[in-house]
Amino acid sequence: MTSSTFSFFKAASRWSKNHKFFLTSFGVLAGGGSSIIYALEQSIHASNDAAHVAKQKWNHNGWFDTLDHASVRRGWEVYKNVCAACHSVEYLAYRELVGVCLTENEAKAEAAEQMIEDGPDETGAMFKRPGKLSDLIPKPYPNEEAARYANNGAYPPDLTYITQARIDGENYIFSLLTGYMDPPAGVVLAENQHFNPYFPGGAIGMAQALYDEIIEYEDGTPATQSQCAKDVVTFLKWCAEPEHDTRKLFAMKAFTILGVLNLVVWYLHRHYWSVMKTRKIFQSPKSLFKK
């Protein structure tokens, strides 16, 4: 047992009963609460009848790894040409695409193709105008009822934060997009349903959306199904966390500053506080009766 450990137990022996009771209760509650949360999470995973998704090697998963911005740009092409027919990214504005997926002129041209409802005008009437950079990307359907009617009762979710809203977000979405197959024997699907083992229950209302060469990338990348899925998932990751790269850059700066501060603290401890801590003070009081 080290001297520091012995000093700790020696100090703890002098604590009051209330102090010991409080710390013991806190430890029991913290440990019990953590165990309950872990058990509930495991039960949720165990009760899920979907297939377990495979872990993919995403370029942005490391502590200091950034998003693949070429993949983000290709993912925008996949979303615009395939996904946007049913799914919205209603919390994303055209101006946020500038410098990431599009140039400023390209983003302005994309926005101008959309007619955005605005107003009221001086007569109190609403009117349509060409879109501009400050506008949010319009939804494919005006409301949820229209979306369900067009998709046989299924409601296509908004994709802006979908990677954050699903457990194991990127891996789940990639597996879902590439996991369509014929239903196994004994599985009966309703009309307009499709089988995907990664979707809870296996029966999903969304038909397979990605195929090989479904689009043609502007940069010439072969548009295989897995490549399209990887790119659109990377784009959706950026949608959910546009500050992703900036946050990691700040982390690198913070770790650098902390490293320098640690050297300063070590120097102060080694050459100043260690001297103060190990000094000995002797006291030789003079006798009160000495003349």
Residue range 67-90, pLDDT digits in tens: 999 999 999 999 999 999 999 999
Q: pLDDT at residue 22 above 90? A: no
Q: pLDDT-based confidence at 20, cuts 50/70/90? A: confident
pLDDT at 36: 82
* Whole-number percent of the chain with pLDDT over 70: 88
- Residue 48 vs residue 29, higher pLDDT: 29
Q: Where do we find the tokens 């359907």?
A: 141
81 close to 215: Cβ distance less than 8 angstroms: yes
The stretches of the chain forming alpha helices (DSSP H) are: 3-12, 17-47, 69-81, 104-112, 144-150, 162-165, 169-178, 225-240, 244-268, 274-278
Enumerate the known binding-site residues for heme c.
83, 86-87, 206
pLDDT at 268: 82
Q: pLDDT at residue 59 above 60? A: yes
Q: pLDDT-based confidence at 50, cuts 50/70/90? A: confident
44 close to 204: Cβ distance less than 8 angstroms: no
Q: From CA 288, how far away is CA 291, in angstroms rounded?
A: 8
| Weakest-pLDDT range from 3-7, 200-204, 278-282 | 3-7
pLDDT at 132: 94
In the predicted model, what is the mean pLDDT of the chain? 87
pLDDT at 2: 52
Q: pLDDT-based confidence at 112, cuts 50/70/90? A: very high
Enumerate the known binding-site residues.
83, 86-87, 206
* Among the listed residues 131, 147, 145, the one whose alpha carbon sits nearest the alpha carbon of residue 88: 147
28-33 CB contacts, 8 Å cutoff, 24+ apart: none
Q: pLDDT-based confidence at 28, cuts 50/70/90? A: confident
For residue 102, CA distances in Å to 36, 72, 78, 164, 270 come to 47, 10, 14, 24, 54
Q: From CA 246, how far away is CA 258, in angstroms rounded?
A: 18
Structure tokens at 122: 């001086």
pLDDT one-digit tens code per residue, 212-232: 999 999 999 999 999 999 999
pLDDT at 94: 96
Q: What is the pTM of this model?
A: 0.78
